[in-house]
Amino acid sequence: MIPVQGVQGRKVAVLGLGRSGLATARALLAGGAEALLWDDSPESRAKAEAEGFAMTDLTRNGALEGVAFLVVSPGIPHLYPAPHKVIARAMEAGVPVDNDIGLFFRSFATKAWDGFDQAPRVVAVTGSNGKSTTTALIRHILDEAGRPVQMAGNIGRGVLDLDPARDGEVVVLELSSYQTELARALTPDVAVFTNLSPDHLDRHGGMGGYFAAKRRLFSEGGPDRAVIGVDEVEGRFLADQTGEGAADDRVIRVSSGTKLEGFGWAVFARKGFLAEWRKGRQVAAIDLRDIKGLPGAHNHQNACAAYAACRSLGLGPKEIEGGLRSFAGLPHRSQLVGERGGVRFVNDSKATNVDSAAKALQAFDKIRWIAGGMGKEGGIAALQPLLGSVVKAYLIGHSARDFALQIGDLPHEICETMARAVARAAAEAGPGEVVLLAPAAASFDQYPNFEKRGEDFMAQVAAVLGQPPADAG
């Protein structure tokens, strides 16, 4: 645990008692604060009370009197589509609103660091797609290279649940837009921006607000090094705003598909090869084509971002390459879960929007595509140009019939359930084909989250193959 600094004897309110909220409460108490805790969910309150915490109803009038600041869990809206009533009251009363990420950055460094040979460092990763894989890949590469490392944020542990830093340790954080938009302190040593595509637009009031939330990671504290994906206009804008010209190697530009030669520092992948260029010349190259844990151009972009971040931390190309090759991938993200008779079964349940599904569809040839769920605004019509590699679609969930109307003449079958979709796709697939779960939709019509959806896919594949269910993690 990382005790929160500067709160001794102060009254601090915590709204939301999920994973990050409970970790925040513990860290505040460890820092000597009086913590006032509340969650709108009776189940969450009961869980916190079982841990020994007392509840304070922050929704009642006067509950925030004397409170130094309010800490809000990331899933609770503070601006759009409308602020939670407790947050609205805090802002009306001038009570500062923060989150656990802000508390982490103001509490991570301690006097113990004075005795370290090498100061700990923080790498923070944000973006729309690929940030979980990039975060886990950076952690894996550092671990394989023998560097002390911890991982937290939107993946793994809550940030305040981390252990106090060791000499020379690197903390790798995945940060969502919900986390970056509200943190009052954002001071990573290395900041990574993977890419941007429409998501969470109701929460951010549109695409501009969404990008602004991501951009705060680079504009608030000014990282020593910025690794920025430049395959979209927002990334190019961010790189331009962050650097002092093309030769400024504090910005490492990253691309999947575009050759970047005219910059101080760049890492890009083309035709399956990663190349690092510095000051107008190539200094390293890695063949990514046979790395099973990183299939497709989208994962090659993730590899470039992780490579650049690790290079900025002082690792050499060869030790980074070793980490790339031993990376097994993350559950539910282009995860190979079975193979029979030349047919591969791939779980990409995390492909919950059109952009991430597009990346999955471009990673494989001859696809038996399982898609559907709770469709998002706009449906999947934008995927039509990418369906040339799809042999047939097997549609499930609430939006199955809507999706069927949006895929043109592509052969398809309304399966409704995962069990039927996997059984039908497996029965019809031939050697060289891939049965791919890439839903392009949320899971909430049939599952509590994308992880449970992916686990069901894996269980159905195991049943078809006559094998024990694979381990999702």
pLDDT at 443: 93
When pLDDT is averaged across residues 423-446 and rounded to a whole number, the result is: 96
36-87 tens-digit pLDDT: 999 999 999 999 999 999 999 999 999 999 999 999 999 899 999 999 999 9
From 235-249, 327-341, 396-410, the region with the lowest mean pLDDT:
327-341
Beta pairing class for 97-98 and 335-340: unpaired
pLDDT at 222: 85
pLDDT at 168: 96
312 labelled ligand-binding: no
End-to-end CA, the chain: 24
User: Are residues 113 and 167 in contact, defined by beta-carbon separation less than 8 angstroms?
Assistant: no
326 labelled ligand-binding: no
Q: Taking the CA atoms of 90, 93, 97 and 103 in sequence, report the sign of the dihedral they define.
A: negative
CA distance 132 to 272: 21
Confidence tier at 391 by pLDDT (50, 70, 90)? very high
pLDDT at 334: 87
Q: Give ∠ CA 313-314-320 in degrees, rounded to 5.
A: 90
Confidence tier at 355 by pLDDT (50, 70, 90)? confident
CA-closest candidate to residue 309, choices 180, 425, 420, 151: 151
CA distance 207 to 455: 32
CA distance 263 to 251: 9
> Other CB atoms closer than 10 Å to residue 94's CB: what's the count?
7
pLDDT at 94: 96
pLDDT at 156: 79
26-41 tens-digit pLDDT: 999 999 999 999 999 9
146 labelled ligand-binding: no
pTM of the model: 0.85
Confidence tier at 202 by pLDDT (50, 70, 90)? confident
When pLDDT is averaged across residues 407-420 and rounded to a whole number, the result is: 96
pLDDT at 229 exceeding the cut of 80? yes
- Tokens representing 54 are 């007392």
pLDDT over 90 for what percent of the chain?
A: 86
pLDDT at 472: 58
Q: Taking the CA atoms of 299, 302, 308 and 310 in sequence, report the sign of the dihedral they define.
A: negative
CA distance 284 to 299: 19
130 labelled ligand-binding: yes
Confidence tier at 155 by pLDDT (50, 70, 90)? confident
Domains of the chain in start order, with CATH, are: 11-98 (3.40.50.720), 103-326 (3.40.1190.10), 335-464 (3.90.190.20)
pLDDT at 473: 52
pLDDT at 197: 86
320-351 tens-digit pLDDT: 999 999 998 888 988 889 999 999 999 999 99
Residues contacting residue 69 through CB under 8 Å, at least 6 positions apart: 12, 13, 95, 96, 97, 98
pLDDT at 371 exceeding the cut of 80? yes
pLDDT at 347: 95
Confidence tier at 295 by pLDDT (50, 70, 90)? confident
pLDDT at 470 exceeding the cut of 80? no
When pLDDT is averaged across residues 236-246 and rounded to a whole number, the result is: 95
- The 3-state DSSP class for residue 37 equals strand
pLDDT over 70 for what percent of the chain?
A: 99
When pLDDT is averaged across residues 244-271 and rounded to a whole number, the result is: 95
CA distance 145 to 6: 36
DSSP result, 2-27: -PPSS-TT-EEEEE--SHHHHHHHHH
User: Are residues 160 and 227 in contact, defined by beta-carbon separation less than 8 angstroms?
Assistant: no
pLDDT at 218 exceeding the cut of 90? yes
CA-closest candidate to residue 317, choices 287, 279, 272: 287
Residue 182 CB-half CA count within 13 A: 27
DSSP result, 93-139: HT--EE-HHHHHHHHS--GGGGG-SS--EEEEEE-SSSHHHHHHHHH
Residues contacting residue 443 through CB under 8 Å, at least 6 positions apart: 349, 352, 373, 374, 449, 450, 452, 453
Omega before 468 within 30 of 0, i.e. cis: no
133 labelled ligand-binding: yes
